């Protein structure tokens, strides 16, 4: 009998990150971290200076990347992270950087 994969709760979070988060490689580092965790979704800069992202995958890993976003990469100064939990819908095949 083949071993079954452990069951995990899937989650999706829509996140807005405020502070000095543009021009510090926040998107590239977020993409790298999401890929390391096996998450799908996207990250982009917003016109008003924030970084916006959608993360989907195992809830434990989505929570890990949200915690990472509270600090961000070296050079970032995160002042606020807003998280909206949504229903996961498996619409993404990978994690990508979006441009506007």
Coarse DSSP helix, strand, coil percentages of the chain, rounded to the nearest 5 percent? 25, 40, 40
The arithmetic mean of pLDDT across residues 26-49, rounded, is 97
8 confidence band (pLDDT: 50, 70, 90) = confident
Provide the percentage of residues in the chain whose pLDDT is more than 90: 90
List the domain boundaries for the chain.
10-97
Cα–Cα distance, 40 to 55 (Å, whole number): 6
User: Rg of the Cα trace of the chain?
Assistant: 14
Give the list of residues 6+ apart from residue 50 with CB closer than 8 angstroms, or none: 16, 17, 18, 21
47 is catalytic: no
Catalytic position from the list 45, 47, 70, 89: 45
Q: Which residue has the higher pLDDT, 4 or 87?
A: 87
Catalytic position from the list 12, 27, 47, 93: 27
93 is catalytic: no
Q: Which CATH architecture has domain 10-97?
A: 2-Layer Sandwich (3.30)
């Amino acid at each position: 009998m083949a071993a079954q994969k452990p069951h995990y709760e899937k989650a999706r979070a829509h996140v807005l990150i405020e502070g000095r988060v543009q021009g510090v490689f926040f998107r590239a580092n977020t993409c790298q971290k999401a890929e390391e965790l096996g998450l799908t979704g996207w990250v982009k800069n917003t016109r008003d200076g924030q970084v916006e992202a959608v993360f989907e995958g195992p809830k434990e890993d989505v929570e890990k990347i949200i915690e990472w976003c509270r600090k961000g990469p070296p050079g970032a100064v995160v002042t606020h992270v807003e998280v909206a939990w949504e229903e996961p819908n498996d619409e993404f095949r990978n994690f990508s950087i979006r441009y506007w």
